[in-house]
Amino acid sequence: MTVLELKQAKKTFGTGHKKVEALKETNFQAQAGEMIAIIGPSGSGKSTFLTIAGGLQTPSEGDVVINGTSLAKLNEKKLSKVRLNEIGFILQASNLVPFLTVHNQMMLLKKVKKDTLNDQELEELYKDLGIEELRNKYPSDLSGGERQRVAIAKALYTNPSIVLADEPTASLDSERAYEVMELLQKETKSKQTTTLVVTHDTRLIDYCDRVFKMTDGTLREEDHTPKEGTAHE
Amino acid sequence: MFLAWNEIKKNKLRFALVIGVLFLVSYLVFFLTGLANGLANLNREAVDKWAGDGIMLTEDSDQSLPQSFLSIEDADSIDAETAVLGQLNTIVTSGDLKQGVAIFGIDENEFITPDVSEGELFSDENEVVAADFLQEEGFEIGDTLTLSSSDEELTIVGFTEDARFNAAPVLYASLETFQTVRFGEATEQNADQVNGIVIRADDLSALDAPEDLAIVDTQTFIENLPGYTEQKLTLDFMIYFLFIISATIVAIFLYVLTVQKINMFGVMKAQGISNGYLARSVVAQTFILAAVGVVTGYVLTLVTGLFLPNAVPVQFDGVAMAIYGVVLIAVAILGAIFSVLTIVRIDPLKAIGA
């Protein structure tokens, strides 16, 4: 089932000789339960692709369709609802609210969005991510790896159909980075979400089903065989 | 409210400081209000006490009671309840005590006669009922008062509450006593002279004043008391400016707090949390801070009032203070609106660094 689709999406900045094509005409489809890596050097257009896919900015041309809903005609308020209901964001820097405990990070989403995991599912999520002991701690009390695991919990708590992760392991050492990728992979498969991971760390692509490479705004699928025991369990 | 309250709980010191500023501003507003009220009452207590709707004075007096001279018979020309009033200012001395006073000469059968809170009403010549302020200053029933402007001596036979006129405590005396003090040997020739005639009437405009006399409504009369309006306007301006200053301070505080959180708000917006939710959170937080600050200011102002010496003319009006408190909270929320505009303008894309 196609969850996310970019139809001839294109993003340009500036005009005339200052015109820059951050994302050249792109067609892209992602299915439920797929974990996809978007790799490429800095400035290649990965983040532009991710933010367009996440409804944070609109393409200059073309359209983005999430679960059959075209984002092209939605105003900011409706886009905001789509982001809340359909998308979970995991950002490079921790996206946690500094004055909320781990548990209250989830409760904030529960107050804003009615459809969230029930208490038992939340407990399971805490357990899956190994953060059940952290629920009463503030982000400042957590290590980088713990913060990213909480960020993943936060992204998954609202039952999104798409998880967009922008360099989710950038601030982590290798061991923690693999741990986070394993968690993402596990949750993608168990909850049948579509996960897009933007990274320039090619070691992480082993956890993904498909790999796309972004070069100067052009997205191309790479030949990729998921590493046994990681991507296809 | 969830976000607002949790942020306050986590950053207690920071928000205690903000509440401290709001408390100080409200304390200052309440205290100035009490001072303005007290000073106003200092001038008008006795006028409020006679509960008249207007007063008849000579036209030439420019609505000043001491400059007005009219006849007791002039009261007969007014088709309303009237009370004659003679007034003079003098200084009284009793032993080591010395005090500037206003002597009111009145007819004890008319409505202007005060209620006596202690002692009794004057019944004989040279007896007076004094404002209780004199009691607080050390004067007692039975004290003999010598006067700076007359050889007559007066005796205090009773006290009455809240009776000051143009900041001077009032001595109520019979018209005869008043005339004796005022005119001395010429009393007989001036026996019908008073300064004003206080009127009680539903419609003052329906009354016709005799030639050369004018009927002034009580509020206008009070506003024309020497220094009253100038004093009141000065304090009112201070209070109004304080409102503007407090609104600005609160707006700046909240704006700085919001600017510090732009990135966090941007991330929340990226996650789909609406502008409306974040705006409500900022307004709720402002309400909590302002309400705590204002209520603390309110309570501490009243507590301060208990310890102030009598010489400080402060009088707190709970209802007026409550209204000012509500205005202060409203002003703070108005300040928060500027922060809300900042939130609306935050681009989530920039906040997440994409």
For the stretch B4-58, pLDDT in tens is 999 999 999 989 998 998 899 899 989 988 988 888 888 888 999 888 999 999 9
Six-digit token string for A20: 């820059």
What is the full DSSP assignment across B98-136?
EEEEEEEEE-TTSTTPPPPSEE----STTEEEEEHHHHH
Query: Rounded to whole angstroms, how far apart are CA atoms A111 and A115?
Result: 10
Query: Rounded to whole angstroms, how far apart are CA atoms A130 and A102?
Result: 12
Tens of pLDDT, residues B330-354? 888 887 888 888 888 888 887 776 5
Q: In Å, how far from its chain's centre is CA A221?
A: 18
- pLDDT on residue A231: 43
- pLDDT on residue B312: 83
Please, are residues B289 and B332 in contact by the beta-carbon 8 Å criterion?
Answer: yes
Query: Rounded to whole angstroms, how far apart are CA atoms B153 and B93?
Result: 10
Nearest chain B residue to A90 by CA distance is B271
Q: Is the dihedral of CA A64, A69, A149, A223 positive or negative?
A: negative
Tens of pLDDT, residues A154-183? 888 888 999 999 888 877 778 878 888 888
What is the full DSSP assignment across A114-152?
S----HHHHHHHHHHHT-GGGTT--GGGS-HHHHHHHHH
Residues 271-330 of B with CB under 8 A from A: 271-275, 277
- pLDDT on residue A227: 67
Six-digit token string for A118: 């029930």
Report yes or no: B269 at the A interface, CB cutoff 8 Å: yes
- Per cent of chain B over pLDDT 90 is 48
> How far is the alpha carbon of B13 from chain A, nearest alpha carbon, in Å?
13
- pLDDT on residue A169: 81
Six-digit token string for B181: 């003090």
Task: State the helix-helix crossing angle for B318-345 and B275-307, rounded to 10 degrees.
Answer: 150
Q: Which amino acid is at B54?
A: G
- pLDDT on residue B199: 95
pLDDT interval class at B297 (50, 70, 90) = very high
pLDDT for residue A232 is more than 60 = no
Six-digit token string for B291: 């309400």
Tens of pLDDT, residues B104-132? 999 999 999 999 999 999 999 999 999 99
Backbone angles phi, psi at B100, to 5 degrees: -75, 135
Q: Are residues A112 and B274, on separate chains, in Cβ contact within 8 Å?
A: yes
Six-digit token string for A134: 């952290």
- CB within 8 Å of B144: residues ≥ 6 apart: B94, B153, B154, B155
pLDDT for residue B247 is more than 90 = no
DSSP classification of residue B264: H
Nearest chain A residue to B262 by CA distance is A97
> How far is the alpha carbon of B5 from chain A, nearest alpha carbon, in Å?
10
Query: Rounded to whole angstroms, how far apart are CA atoms B193 and B247?
Result: 54
* Cβ-based contacts of B3 with chain A (< 8 Å): 97, 100, 108
| From A89-93, B96-100, B129-133, B202-206, the region with the lowest mean pLDDT | A89-93
Six-digit token string for B198: 């206080």
**Average pLDDT of span A92-98:** 77
Q: What does pLDDT average to over chain B? A: 89
**Average pLDDT of span B161-182:** 93
Q: What does pLDDT average to over chain A? A: 87
- pLDDT on residue B100: 95
- pLDDT on residue A43: 85
- pLDDT on residue A233: 41
Tens of pLDDT, residues A49-89? 998 998 888 899 999 999 989 998 888 888 888 888 899 88
pLDDT for residue B260 is more than 80 = yes
Task: State the helix-helix crossing angle for B228-260 and B318-345, rounded to 10 degrees.
Answer: 30
Q: In Å, how far from its chain's centre is CA B148?
A: 31
- pLDDT on residue B354: 58
Tens of pLDDT, residues A180-223? 888 889 889 988 999 999 988 888 888 999 999 999 999 999 88
Q: Which amino acid is at B131?
A: A
> How far is the alpha carbon of B11 from chain A, nearest alpha carbon, in Å?
8
Q: Name the H helices within chain A.
A: 46-53, 76-86, 102-112, 119-129, 144-157, 174-191
The residue ranking higher by pLDDT, B336 or A8, is A8
**B271, B278, B282, B347: best to mutate for the A interface, most A CBs within 10 A:** B271
**Average pLDDT of span B310-322:** 85
Tens of pLDDT, residues B177-227? 999 999 888 888 888 899 999 999 988 888 888 888 999 999 999 998 888
Domains and CATH numbers, chain A: 2-222 (3.40.50.300)
Prediction pTM value: 0.75
Q: Are residues B269 and A91, on separate chains, in Cβ contact within 8 Å?
A: no
Q: Are residues A87 and B273, on separate chains, in Cβ contact within 8 Å?
A: no
